[in-house]
Amino acid sequence: MKAYVFPGQGAQFSGMGKDLYDKSDLAKSMFSKANEILGFDIQKTMFEGTDEELKQTKVTQPAIFLHSTILAACLGDSFQPDMVAGHSLGEISALVANKTLRFEDGLKLVYKRALAMQKACEAEPSTMAAILGLEDDVVEKICSEVDGIVVAANYNCPGQLVISGAVPAVEEACARLTEAGAKRAMILQVGGAFHSPLMEPAREELAAAIEATEFSTPVCPVYQNVNAKAVSDPEEIQRNLIAQLTAPVRWTQIMNQMIAEGASEVIEVGPGKVLQGLFKKVDRTFPCSSAEI
């Protein structure tokens, strides 16, 4: 069974998507439509922008979404997913790929998500940190003992968990986790505390947009971030997507579940190879590849 997976923020690079544009009339028309919807020339930023320009949340999120969804569309009849999943932002790309969302609606949601998250980041100094080399339950326990908001945010793979919260609480947690034996406790260069309670204003803002968007029955199940389970019911998918901004990304659990439920190969759709690397941390022999047209 083929599992198609879609990356999240951090996979961007200057020049992303240009090969698709050059090779495909469908890609050209989708980029043109994206520029209309967003009201600015995102294609120019993706193809020619600096790393600094591409790092802005309001650019990064739609850029990665566009790279992934346009690539999936360009695969044509060869794109036959048995299951899909996306890491954080990538979940919306996955929902367009499996026909739960229309491309236009997915892009509008991604842009609203990016702007709402940016606003929430500016409201309070917050950050994230990668913790390497500790068991998940040790990280969870220490975070729960720190004063202030700091929570497990991204379960990326065994031995790699990202925490998220207010700056002083994250710094305190990093110090305690290092004492507890973490190989690394590294503050990340991110805009703020994604997938933590500090994203509640963004969740509320995005909830209204998600509730006003039509969700269709997908062509295959999506393994969602909030519960790591295969979901095909449009209303349940919608509820889980609303919960996603303040809930952790259970990617380790998603990978294990996909493999347990019959995934025989994983194909990453979008920029980079981050998700393939995470699957290899679960099973070094697992067949992984990048989608190409």
In terms of CATH, what superfamily is 123-187?
Answer: Malonyl-CoA ACP transacylase, ACP-binding (3.30.70.250)
The CATH architecture assigned to 2-122+197-290 reads 3-Layer(aba) Sandwich (3.40)
Strand partners, 152: 163
What's the confidence (pLDDT) of residue 290?
97
Whole-number Å distance between alpha carbons of 11 and 274: 7
Question: Which listed residue (24, 164, 195, 196) is catalytic?
Answer: 195
Q: In whole angstroms, give the CA distance from residue 293 to residue 73.
A: 10
For residue 195, indicate whether it is catalytic.
Answer: yes
Q: Which of 68, 88, 126, 196 is catalytic?
A: 88
**Per-residue pLDDT tens for 194-223?**
999 999 999 999 999 999 999 999 999 999
Alpha-carbon gap, residue 18 to 15, rounded angstroms: 6
**Where are the chain's structural domains?**
2-122+197-290, 123-187
Q: How does pLDDT run across 8-33, given as a tens digit for each residue?
A: 988 899 999 999 999 999 999 999 99
Contacts of 76 (CB under 8 A, 6+ apart): none
| pTM as predicted | 0.96
User: Is 87 a residue of the active site?
Assistant: no
pLDDT digits (tens, 9 = 90+) for 47-89: 999 988 898 888 999 999 999 999 999 999 999 999 999 999 9
* Chain segment 135-147, per-residue pLDDT in tens: 999 999 999 999 9
